[in-house]
Amino acid sequence: MQGVGFRFFVARVGRRLGLHGHVRNLPDHRRVEVIAQGPRPALEALVQELQVGPPLAIVESVTVAWAAPDGDLPAFAIRA
């Protein structure tokens, strides 16, 4: 995924929803990983936003795995 601003989009939405976590490109540069913590309704809203993405993105699929919170994550950020 190149040049569509997907990570910036995810970080902006995550911050707006008050979530903690990060977004990063995976090594194949075709997929993005999102780790997020927060209230369930905010997480569900994030998933809905991920399914659409920013204007230039084509989202083929979104895989969601729910888990118990694992410690404190910093405010939502983009990771390299």
Catalytic status, residue 40: no
Pair 5, 61: CB distance under 8 Å: no
Q: How many CB atoms lie within 10 A of CB 67?
A: 7
Catalytic residue from among 16, 25, 30, 79? 25
User: Which one-letter amino acid corresponds to residue 51?
Assistant: Q
Catalytic status, residue 25: yes
Catalytic machinery residues:
7, 25
